[in-house]
């Protein structure tokens, strides 16, 4: 672990929606050495608040549409409720967290997704140059731990709902020019499994050659493919490693025990 | 205007609740020279969201109580919806705004108000040392313009609803040790009026001696007294001047026209 190490960790609904999981995750997060950035989605709370406000989820072809009302809700829930409670918890643990959207400090810009067959509404797509890496580095070097919610802006005053996995990956690629960057995705499994029915069959290391083998053997297929494809793209773009694991095992890193599946150029 | 000048501007409901007022205010705000900090309350939006969510406003002796549900709403509305939309607008105008609560960067700590006759719930009172002035200075000097919502934290993981006027005043006092600080309160009038029925009768300058005279003559009374008492206390604690005026006149400062009523040690 060098002074120039950066861990970017993404958490989703299975951590955020359960206050006990969140508490334990944040306790382990604060113990990670080096620079770190947390990226979170909104979990089920946005859906619950929408329902309470009588806002109907608009779906087209099974995909959620971010209309004006939904954008208000995600700005409240992701940017306010979830983000500020995570920050307050981290402060309690002595981590100097600062809660951010992409609008804050102009740190992450996006473009409103163009309307083709579907109008997704106020959804932002990232582009080359979306990430203001020097701005983020200045916060890290000033002693702050950025906590990003899944919101960006277009630079013209418009906030945009943006996929948290995509934000985490783009942050990792952009920051890898300045830091030795590892990207950690927390999800519900202990890692990539050799046998999908055996939670203990975690494959600990995958490099591009092994990945090809695992695909040919059909051990990795369907839902995991886009996640891993994106991970290897990030690695090809300079990210040192992408780790996929379960949030409540994060403490293993500090104890030098195995954590999740580590994807990298060379195992 | 020196390189070490700081303007702290507080806006309330009459600016926030009206998108046209807010737009014009932010356009004038971005043109202010020197370092600057914006402090905002939540206006009527929090009440509207509470009502939509079916949360009843709990009042005791005419004062609003911040119960758990209300705290969730103000965290969503102040910390999320209002704050992030202001930040996105300021970015559009080229001001590198960063939206904050007191929990972010541990910048403003408070204590939960002790229960005496009334339990105000999750309301924070500031104390000596509440303001992390070096943390705020590091953001200003890194080129960020802090935008504070009316939320603080207790350092133990609890967010607290805190009066925006009080935050603005405490910020001004704390920052005056590092910057030549002016505190600007935007309210619905053009300033302190000689004749309450004549909006043009603004008293331009008040020093402590003049203030005593105006009180004896009963030109200043009732609602304005606590505002001005607090202003002169801030001035006694090192704030260069407190200015009270109407948000849509803020552009006057840049045009060297008179703006509001200026309170200071010496006129």
Q: Report how far Cα A238 is from the mean position of its chain's Cα atoms.
A: 17
pLDDT, tens digit, 9 for 90 and up, residues B187-237: 989 999 999 899 999 999 999 999 999 999 999 878 889 889 999 999 999
Both structure tokens of A151 = 């919101």
* pLDDT value of residue A34: 95
| A191, A244 Cβ separation under 8 angstroms | yes
| Alpha carbons B88 and B115: distance in angstroms, whole number | 38
**Model ipTM over 0.90:** yes
DSSP state for residue B63 in the 8-state scheme = E
Collapse the DSSP code of A193 into the 3-class scheme (helix H, G, I; strand E, B; otherwise coil) and give the result. Answer: strand
The domain locations on chain B are 5-264
A57-67 pLDDT, tens digit per residue, is 888 877 789 99
Contacts of A88 (CB under 8 A, 6+ apart): B103, B153, B157, B158, B159
Cα–Cα distance for residue pair B261/B183, rounded to 1 Å? 12
| Cα B58 to Cα B160: distance, rounded to the nearest angstrom | 17
pLDDT exceeds 90 at position A265: yes
Q: Of B80, B91, B158, which has the smallest distance from its Cβ to A80's Cβ? A: B80
- Contact B65/B58 with Cβ under 8 angstroms? yes
Q: Taking 80 as the threshold, does the pLDDT of residue A141 lie above it?
A: yes
Q: What is the per-residue pLDDT for A1?
A: 46
- The whole-number pLDDT of residue A204 equals 96
The answer on whether A252 is annotated among ligand-binding residues is no
| DSSP helix/strand/coil, B243 | strand
The answer to whether A85 faces chain B, any CB pair under 8 Å, is: yes
- Residues of chain B short of pLDDT 50, as ranges, are 1
Nearest to B155 among A92, A98, A144 (CB): A92
CA angle, A14 then A27 then B71, to 5°: 70
Residue B84 pLDDT:
98
User: What percent of chain B lies above the pLDDT cut of 70?
Assistant: 99
Residues B41 and B35: their CA atoms lie apart, in Å, by 21
Helix axes B224-236, B164-175, angle to 10 degrees: 20
The per-residue pLDDT for B93 is 98
Instruction: For A5-264, give the CATH class.
Output: alpha beta
Mutate: best of B69, B91, B102, B141, partner A, most A CBs <10 A: B91
Q: Give the list of residues 6+ apart from residue B195 with CB closer than 8 angstroms, or none.
A: B201
- For the packed helices B224-236 and B208-216, what is the interaxial angle rounded to 10 degrees? 160
Whole-number Å distance between alpha carbons of B259 and B267: 15
CA nearest to A239, candidates A187, A177, A186, A165: A177
């Amino acid at each position: 672990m060098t002074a120039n190490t950066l861990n970017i960790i993404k958490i989703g609904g299975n951590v955020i929606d359960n206050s006990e999981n969140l508490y334990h995750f944040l306790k382990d997060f604060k113990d990670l050495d080096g620079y770190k950035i947390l990226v979170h989605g909104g979990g089920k709370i946005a859906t619950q608040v929408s329902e309470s406000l009588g806002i109907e989820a608009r779906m087209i072809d099974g995909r959620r549409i971010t209309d004006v009302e939904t954008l208000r809700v995600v700005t409240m829930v992701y940017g306010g409720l979830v983000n500020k409670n995570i920050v307050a918890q981290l402060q309690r643990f002595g981590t100097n967290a600062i809660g951010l959207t992409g609008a804050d400090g102009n740190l992450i810009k996006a473009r409103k997704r163009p309307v083709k067959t579907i109008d997704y509404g106020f959804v932002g797509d990232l582009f080359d140059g979306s990430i203001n890496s020097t701005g983020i580095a200045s916060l890290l070097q000033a002693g702050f731990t950025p906590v990003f919610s899944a919101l960006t802006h277009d630079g013209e005053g418009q906030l945009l709902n943006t996929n948290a996995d995509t934000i985490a990956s783009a942050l990792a690629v952009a920051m890898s020019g300045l830091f030795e960057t590892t990207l950690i995705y927390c999800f519900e499994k202990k890692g990539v499994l050799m046998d999908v029915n055996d939670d203990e069959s975690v494959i600990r290391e995958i490099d591009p050659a092994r990945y090809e083998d695992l695909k040919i053997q059909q051990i990795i297929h369907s839902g995991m493919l886009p996640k891993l494809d994106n991970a290897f793209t990030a690695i090809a773009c300079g990210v040192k490693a992408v780790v996929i694991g379960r949030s409540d095992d994060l403490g293993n890193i500090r104890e030098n025990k195995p954590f999740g599946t580590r994807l990298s150029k060379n195992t």
